[in-house]
Structure 1
Amino acid sequence: MKQLDDFYLKQEEPVKGMFFALKEIILKQDSEITHVLKYGMPFFCYKGKMFCYLWTHKKHKQPYIGIVEGKYFDESFLLQEARSRMKIMLFNPDEDLPLEQIEKVIEKALDLYKSGIVKV
């Protein structure tokens, strides 16, 4: 768990605060969500299956949530870029987090796993 904590602590403000807030928002969505470090990134799993992660976009220098099964989403604010499966939701560190949008996307991602579309 120390490496996972270190990921957050090494971030600079305001990104550090955003990542801590995003972590709490995601974890409170379902009691089956776990929080692990994979590939040097904080990943969130539902019943052991990765469904989203936190990272910073190299080009835009903005924090984001990556949705593992983003290909099932058609929300205009999610970016696919050169990814075939994942989509990301970028955040401006100088603005408040769009809480309602985040919660809806996380809920939709969880629903994919709960419905059986994505095998858990």
Structure 2
Amino acid sequence: MNIPNMLREIDNFYEQKEEPVKGCLLALRTFILNYHEEITETWKYRMPIFCYKGKMFCYLWIHKKNQQPYVGIVEGRYIEHPLLIQEKRSRMKIMFIDPSEDLPLETIDEIFKMAMKYYK
């Protein structure tokens, strides 16, 4: 009996997106997972969440109003960076990513370094 390959919900999250958003999110996923050996990916709250040392660190999502992908920084409230936006969140801040541009890897690295200080 041939059972079709069933995508996990987390893989389906990426697969159902249209380009260039899909490619942008997959590139972000790869960058985040390769950023540190203690970062793992999990499916929580119906979104991809990345944990550092077992604690929620960041997540990927699409903004409802402008349909732009973003990286959500869980402990963003502690970080001051011009590209991090609070909106109506109490704990998290987000950084919009333009899917038609190269990923701002240096900026993401800068923000991640600041965020990791809160996971000691």
Q: State the TM-score, normalizing by the size of structure 2.
A: 0.90
d(CA) in 2 for partners of 1:56, 1:86: 15
**Deviations along 1:49-68, whole A, 9 cap, x unmatched?**
10100000011110000000
> What does residue 70 of structure 1 align with?
76
TM-superposed deviation, 1:96: 1.4
Identity %, equivalent residues: 57
TM-superposed deviation, 1:106: 1.7
Q: Any idea what SS the aligned residue of 1:77 has?
A: coil
Amino acid at match of 1:106: F
Runs in 1 of length 4+ with deviation above 3 angstroms? none
TM-superposed deviation, 1:108: 2.0
> What does residue 61 of structure 1 align with?
67
Q: Any idea what SS the aligned residue of 1:28 has?
A: helix
5+ residue gaps, structure 1, are 115-120
Out of 36, 46, 50, the residue aligned to residue 40 of structure 1 is: 46
Out of 88, 105, 112, the residue aligned to residue 111 of structure 2 is: 105
RMSD over aligned CA atoms reads: 1.2
Amino acid at match of 1:105: I
Moved more, 63-72 or 21-30: 21-30
| Larger radius of gyration between Structure 1 and Structure 2 | 2
Q: State the TM-score, normalizing by the size of structure 1.
A: 0.90
Contact 1:26/1:106 (8 A) holds in 2 = no
